[in-house]
């Protein structure tokens, strides 16, 4: 379908195109100077000692947990209101995802529920700054510390956000970012692992590169590894994108403000909340329908919006109710009631750096018309 207004769009300038072309004219398309430069730029930006670039956020989460020794028989506590990869990467290691319900305002994992989910098999907590919101991350880290659990921060949606002066990506023992084209910055596909722990970083470097060892030969493999490398072409794109992050955060703030000024006083909608003591780097802009609406009505509105040329989405359906999860663990609707209620009501609106005021007006006009039609 050809949409009038798109849900997301990358922001690529001539500088990115020039940087990619320069790599293409060079002799080194992978494991070259741009890889190191991208990793160093990330260390500097987030304020961490080590960065390991990989080919997706999913690969990053998986390698982070492998490097921490998480595997068969372990449990990892995470949120059911996230992108599927937060939970599937736990499953890939052989560990079991254990969900705790969310805070109804921030939509992040509710730190107060962590204690109740801990067993003798629990190894880690994997929180997410969902939609870019860092609220509660400090409380989650404190709760994890009480139970001696390692924090694997899935910061894939929060690049550029801060909580009380601490950048997203600086909370976990290991943290990961993702660079799919709808994220705050993109490399086409890509991801980044961040940590202050040299042993974890060195293990991730080896695992992403076929289990090769430090200083060892190209055909010497110390362990079972993968090819999760990120090419210098992608890294060159990422270096320019990261250098523009401040511009991106400001542009996204402008779009969030435009939505809030147009929809903030509509009692049929629950608007996303800007957390206190934080810098919010908006990933997506998700409004919710008031409690009296049913999921069927929400779905009808989404269909009507699509029909009117406005690309919208139901970020997110509950992770724990995906069919393969139900098959594996036997969860059923109602197990995480706050998540269920939120998931029934969400509508992600078109949101990207360069969306115009006219496009926002059009989206809001269509949304009001669709709301009127279902009432
Ligand atoms: C985007 C995202 C990922 C992983 O992204 P990739 O598509 O694998 O790069 C992981 N977790 C969350 C919460 C995400 O939003």
**14-243: CATH, from 3.40.710.10, 3.20.20.80, 3.40.640.10, 2.40.50.100:** 3.40.640.10
Determine the distance separating the centroid of ligand 1 and the alpha carbon of 246, expressed in angstroms.
Answer: 21
Exposed / middle / buried, residue 141 (Cβ in 10 Å: 0-12, 13-18, 19+): buried
Report if pTM > 0.85. Answer: yes
d(CA 156, CA 131): 9
Atom of ligand 1 nearest to the CA of 191: 9
Q: CA 228 to CA 210: how far, in whole Å?
A: 8
Q: How far is the CA of 368 from the centre of ligand 1 (A)?
A: 31
The angle at the Cα of 182, spanning 178 to 183, to the nearest 5 degrees, equals 40
pLDDT of residue 216: 86
* Ligand 1: centre distance to CA 180 (Å): 8
Domains of the chain: which residue ranges?
14-243, 245-374
Mutational test site, ligand 1, from 7, 85, 234, 238, max ligand atoms within 8 Å of CB: 85
- Within 10 angstroms of residue 271's Cβ, the number of other Cβ atoms is 16
Dist CA 69 CA 66 (whole Å): 5
184 Cβ partners below 8 Å, 6+ apart? 132, 159, 160, 245, 248, 249, 252, 281, 283
Q: What spacing in Å lies between the alpha carbon of 357 and ligand 1's midpoint? A: 29
CA-178 nearest atom, ligand 1: 9
Looking at the CA of residue 58, tell me the nearest atom of ligand 1.
Answer: 8
Predicted pLDDT at 211: 97
Question: What separation in Å is there between the alpha carbon of 374 and the centre of ligand 1?
Answer: 33
- With the most atoms of ligand 1 within 8 angstroms of its CB, the residue from 63, 109, 156 to mutate is 156
Largest CA distance in the chain: 68
Cα–Cα distance for residue pair 80/318, rounded to 1 Å: 6
For the CA of 182, the nearest atom of ligand 1:
1
Q: For the chain, what is the HEC assignment?
A: CCCCECCCCCCCCHHHHHHHHHHHCCCCCCCCHHHHHHHHHHHHHHCCCEEEEECCHHHHHHHHHHHCCCCCCCEEEECCCCCCHHHHHHHHCCCEEEECCECCCCCCECHHHCHHHCCCCEEEEECECHHHCCCCHHHHHHHHHHCCCEEEEECCCCCCCEECCEECCCCCCEEEEECCCCCCCCCCCCEEEEECCHHHHHHHHHHHECCECCCCCCCCECCCCCECCCCHHHHHHHHHHHHCHHHHHHHHHHHHHHHHHHHCCCCCEECCCCCCCEECCCCCEEEEECCCCCHHHHHHHHHHHHHCCECCECCCCCHHHCHHHHHHHCCCCCCCHHHHHHHCCEEEECCCCCCCHHHHHHHHHHHHHHHHHHC
**Phi, psi (degrees; rounded to nearest 5) at 186:** -130, 150
| Ligand 1 atom at minimal distance to the Cα of residue 283 | 15
Contact 228, 245 (CB under 8 A): no
Instruction: State the virtual CA torsion across 323, 326, 331, 335 in degrees, nearest 10.
Output: -10
* Rounded Cα gap, residues 271 and 274, in angstroms: 9
**In angstroms, what CA-CA distances link 18 with 90, 236, 338?**
38, 9, 47
Give residue ranges with CB within 6 A of ligand 1.
56-58, 82-83, 85-86, 128, 154, 156-157, 178, 180, 191
Cα 344 → chain centroid: 20
Cα 58 to ligand 1 centre (Å): 6
Q: Atom 5, ligand 1: which residue's CA is nearest?
A: 57
Rounded distance between C-alpha atoms, residue 58 and residue 190, angstroms: 9
What is the CATH architecture of 245-374? Alpha-Beta Complex (3.90)
Q: What is the pLDDT along the chain (375 residues), one digit of tens a residue?
A: 689 999 999 999 999 999 999 999 999 999 999 999 999 999 999 999 999 999 999 999 999 999 999 999 999 999 999 999 999 999 999 999 999 999 999 999 999 999 999 999 999 999 999 999 999 999 999 999 999 999 999 999 999 999 999 999 999 999 999 999 999 999 999 999 999 999 999 999 999 999 999 988 999 999 999 999 999 999 999 999 999 999 999 999 999 999 999 999 999 999 998 999 999 999 999 999 999 999 999 999 999 999 999 999 999 999 999 999 999 999 999 999 999 999 999 999 999 999 999 999 999 999 999 999 998
Number of the ligand 1 atom closest to the C-alpha atom of 190: 9
Closest Cα to atom 6 of ligand 1:
57
The minimum-distance atom of ligand 1 relative to the CA of 59 is 8
């Amino acid at each position: 379908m050809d949409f009038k207004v798109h849900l997301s769009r990358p922001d690529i300038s001539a500088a990115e195109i020039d940087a990619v072309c320069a790599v293409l004219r060079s002799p080194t398309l992978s494991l070259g100077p741009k890889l190191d430069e991208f990793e160093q730029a990330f260390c500097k930006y987030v304020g961490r000692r080590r960065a390991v670039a990989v080919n997706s956020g999913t690969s990053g989460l998986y390698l982070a947990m492998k490097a921490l020794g998480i595997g068969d028989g372990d449990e990892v506590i995470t949120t059911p209101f996230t992108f599927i990869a937060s939970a599937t990467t736990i499953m890939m290691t052989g560990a079991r995802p254990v969900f705790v319900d969310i805070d109804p305002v921030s939509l992040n994992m509710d730190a107060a529920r962590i204690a109740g989910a801990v067993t003798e098999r629990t190894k880690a907590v994997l929180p997410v700054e969902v939609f870019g919101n860092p609220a509660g991350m400090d409380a989650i880290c404190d709760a994890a510390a009480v139970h001696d659990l390692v924090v694997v921060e899935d910061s894939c949606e929060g690049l550029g956000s801060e909580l009380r002066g601490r950048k997203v990506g600086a909370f976990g023992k290991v943290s990961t970012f993702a660079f799919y084209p709808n994220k705050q910055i993109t490399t086409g596909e890509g991801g980044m692992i961040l940590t202050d722990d040299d042993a974890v970083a060195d293990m991730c470097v080896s695992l992403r590169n076929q289990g090769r060892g430090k200083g060892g030969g190209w055909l010497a493999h110390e362990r079972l590894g993968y090819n999760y490398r990120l090419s210098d072409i992608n890294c060159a794109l990422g270096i320019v994108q990261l250098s523009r992050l401040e511009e991106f955060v400001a542009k996204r703030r402008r779009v969030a403000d435009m939505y809030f000024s147009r929809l903030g006083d509509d009692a049929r909608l629950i608007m996303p909340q800007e957390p206190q003591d934080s810098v919010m780097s908006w990933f997506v802009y998700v409004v919710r329908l008031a409690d009296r609406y049913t999921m069927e009505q929400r779905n009808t509105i989404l269909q009507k919006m699509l029909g009117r040329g406005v690309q919208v989405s139901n970020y997110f359906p509950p992770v724990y109710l995906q069919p393969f999860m139900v098959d594996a663990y036997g969860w059923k609707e109602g197990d995480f009631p706050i998540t269920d209620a939120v998931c029934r009501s969400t509508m992600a609106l078109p949101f990207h750096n360069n969306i115009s005021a006219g496009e926002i007006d059009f989206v809001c006009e269509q949304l009001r018309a669709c709301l009127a039609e279902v009432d």
